[in-house]
């Protein structure tokens, strides 16, 4: 049987719109063979998914998380962690710290909206948002839509929520890599295409960044992602081979929050080659 793989998805534990249960149903119905849930700043889904082992009936699940990190001038690098021990204290501590940073970042977004855009978010909205365990810009964005400042997240987020300085409220990249590895996992650089778009980087710049991160412990790179086209994928495979990195791939599914379907591993229909993901399955231990 041809494997069907998706190693990057979000649930309501962070900023996705599907509960773990709803996602599990889609994984089963969709004929997936291997998957990982990689919520931002939390590993709650790794615990929750255990309830559905029976329904998953042999489908392999890998513990996962996605950490927003800062590294020097780069204030928003996403790092995927896979196969770690979900009960290990350093992982749990890092998730708690990341959650608290997220709340502080949300407060900064409210300040920014008030100071730069003269938008005062009413207190009941602010309180509700600060109650969300892994609050992020989509949550604040949705309130802006409710308040009538736009129709879609892709419209309001760039317009109102960008350029907010939050470097000090991000986990340091090396700390994240070390924590994931100390807890038995591997660390993979998420969606390099977004680094290119966010920081005006070329493929060559990604090559240099990876060359710097590999000796610091980076294990992998996400070659397949819903935002990456055939030519991006080819470039990232070359980089992975050059630095002997484990290749990973996932859709970055967020449910209704992004127009991305489960298992969508490229932006242009390029199909994932399961052979390239083989090393991941050799080196990373599934949770079940
Ligand atoms: Zn990400
Ligand atoms: Zn993601």
Q: Give me the residues paired with residue 36 across strands.
A: 62
**Ligand 1 centre and the CA of 242: distance in Å?**
24
User: Which ligand is in closest contact with the Cα of 16?
Assistant: 2
**Ligand 2 centre and the CA of 14: distance in Å?**
10
Residues of the chain with pLDDT under 50: none
**Ligand 2 centre and the CA of 42: distance in Å?**
12
Query: What per-residue confidence (pLDDT) applies to 235?
Result: 98
Nearest to 37 by CA among 49, 26, 22, 28: 49
**Ligand 1 centre and the CA of 189: distance in Å?**
9
**Ligand 1 centre and the CA of 1: distance in Å?**
30
Q: Outline where 118-229 has alpha helix (H).
A: 123-130, 137-146, 153-160, 173-182, 192-199, 203-213
Query: What per-residue confidence (pLDDT) applies to 203?
Result: 96
**Ligand 2 centre and the CA of 118: distance in Å?**
30
The DSSP code sequence of 6-70 is E--B--TTTT-SS-HHHHHHHHHHTT-SEEE---BT--HHHHHGGGGHHHHTT-EEE-EEEEEEE
- The 3-state DSSP class for residue 282 equals helix
Q: Are 188 and 80 in contact (CB under 8 A)?
A: yes
**Ligand 2 centre and the CA of 129: distance in Å?**
20
Query: What per-residue confidence (pLDDT) applies to 57?
Result: 96
User: Which ligand is in closest contact with the Cα of 9?
Assistant: 2
Domain coordinates of the chain in residue numbers?
Answer: 5-95+173-283, 99-168
**Ligand 1 centre and the CA of 256: distance in Å?**
16
**Ligand 2 centre and the CA of 194: distance in Å?**
11
**Ligand 1 centre and the CA of 78: distance in Å?**
5
Residues lining ligand 2 (ion), CB within 5 A?
66, 252
CATH class of 5-95+173-283: alpha beta
pLDDT per position as a tens digit, 12-50: 998 899 999 999 999 999 999 999 999 998 999 999 999
User: Which ligand is in closest contact with the Cα of 77?
Assistant: 1
Q: What is the pTM of this model?
A: 0.91
């Amino acid at each position: 049987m041809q494997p069907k793989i998706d190693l990057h998805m979000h649930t309501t534990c962070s900023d996705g719109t599907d509960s773990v249960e709803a996602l599990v149903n889609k994984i089963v119905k969709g004929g997936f063979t291997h998957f990982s849930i990689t919520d931002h700043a939390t590993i709650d889904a790794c615990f929750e998914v255990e309830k559905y082992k029976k329904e998953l009936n042999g489908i392999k699940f890998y513990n996962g998380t996605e950490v927003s990190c800062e590294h020097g001038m780069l204030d928003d690098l996403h790092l995927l962690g896979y196969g770690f021990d979900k009960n290990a204290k350093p992982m749990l501590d890092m998730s708690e710290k990341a959650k608290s940073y997220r709340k502080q970042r949300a407060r900064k977004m409210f300040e920014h909206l008030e100071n730069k855009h003269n938008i005062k978010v009413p207190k009941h909205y602010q309180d509700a948002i600060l109650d969300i365990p892994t609050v992020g810009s989509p949550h604040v964005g949705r309130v802006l839509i409710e308040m009538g400042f736009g129709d879609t997240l892709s419209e309001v987020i760039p317009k109102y929520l960008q350029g907010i300085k939050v470097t000090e409220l991000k986990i340091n990249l090396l700390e994240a890599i070390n924590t994931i590895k100390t807890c038995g996992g591997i660390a993979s650089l998420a969606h390099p295409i977004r680094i290119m778009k966010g920081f005006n980087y070329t493929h060559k710049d990604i090559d240099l960044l990876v060359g710097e991160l590999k000796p610091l412990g980076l294990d992998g790179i996400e070659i397949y992602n819903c935002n990456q086209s055939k030519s991006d994928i080819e470039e990232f495979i070359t980089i992975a081979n050059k630095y002997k990195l484990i290749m990973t791939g996932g859709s970055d599914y967020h449910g209704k929050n992004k127009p991305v379907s489960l298992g969508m591993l490229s932006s242009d229909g390029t199909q994932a080659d399961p052979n390239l993901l083989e090393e991941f399955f050799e080196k990373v231990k599934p949770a079940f």
